[in-house]
Amino acid sequence: MNVRQFTASIATALQAIYPPPEAQAIAALVAEHLLQMDALKRMTEAQQPVAPGAEAALEPLLTRLLAHEPVQYVLGTAYFADMELEVTPATLIPRPETEELVQLIKQEQASRPGLRVLDVGTGSGCLALALARLLPAAKVLAVDISAEALAVARRNGARFAPQVAFEQVDILKGLPTEIAPGSLDILVSNPPYVRESERPEMRDNVLAWEPATALFVPDADPLLFYRRLAEVGRLLLRAGGSIYLEINEALGAETAVLLTPEDFEDVRVLPDMFGKARVVRGTRR
């Protein structure tokens, strides 16, 4: 079996649970992982025979994939902002839309020297590490309530941005110990924002595998994290500092309203690449 046939066989098997374009995309990732090829090499060497052990190595991976386990967890990695990050079921899988948040912050903040940045709910560390690489003079602190997630983030940090610091914090109950009030320049967060009533809209590979505590909030108080983050921003951000929050697309206006009473101005709801409300940003008065 050559490389092209090997990849096609994976895609065919995955079409039992995924539509063809998605099955093909997952198959490419799996083939590249097993054959130790990048995408270009997989295409240019499509007629090369696969290594003898590749088919045997595929079997346990395919079993997991057909049980709806996300390919990122099966392979143990996810790509984000030119980094191949470790991910586990203790961390959310980074999404492409979140990369747009990184680019927005770079666009607005890159010219400012000596920035102090706080990433709340860091998970795999994707936001903190990407910002540390794009704003190399910045001092970045990443916090999370989960010790398991922080362990993953620290390993990613050691590989991609060793200057990033980490701290375990329940942001609903406390504050990072390393940041003095009024000293922060950027507060960024992608907190839990999916309402429990939205569970039926979620796919099996998200519901069964990604950490529920990083995804869901009660319908009775879906903005609890944003209310607290607005308060944290008021306490920690210096005048002129900025807050950037990834949001539930259905609650953009409601989220933005929370910032004004906490001394924020220039509050805006910004769309993602698909035109959906995705980010609320504001500036500390």
The tens digit of pLDDT for each residue in 222-264 reads: 999 999 999 999 999 999 999 999 999 999 999 999 999 999 9
Q: Is the pLDDT of residue 52 over 90?
A: no
Long-range contacts of 75-84 (CB under 8 A, 24+ apart): 75/29, 75/30, 75/33, 78/124, 80/124, 80/126, 80/130, 81/126, 81/129, 81/130, 81/133, 81/134, 83/126, 83/129, 83/130, 83/133, 83/156, 83/160
| CATH number, domain 90-284 | 3.40.50.150
Q: What's the pTM value of the predicted model, to 2 decimals?
A: 0.94
For residue 28, the tally of other CB atoms under 10 A from its CB is: 18
Interatomic CA distance for residues 128 and 140, integer angstroms: 7
Overall average pLDDT of the 13-32 stretch: 97
Q: Is the pLDDT of residue 51 over 90?
A: no
Strand partners, 244: 188, 281
Contact 124, 83 (CB under 8 A): no
pLDDT tens digits for 108-123?
Answer: 999 999 999 999 999 9
Overall average pLDDT of the 162-177 stretch: 98
Overall average pLDDT of the 32-40 stretch: 95
CA 24 to chain centre: 23
For residue 207, the tally of other CB atoms under 10 A from its CB is: 14
Overall average pLDDT of the 41-59 stretch: 94
Overall average pLDDT of the 147-151 stretch: 98
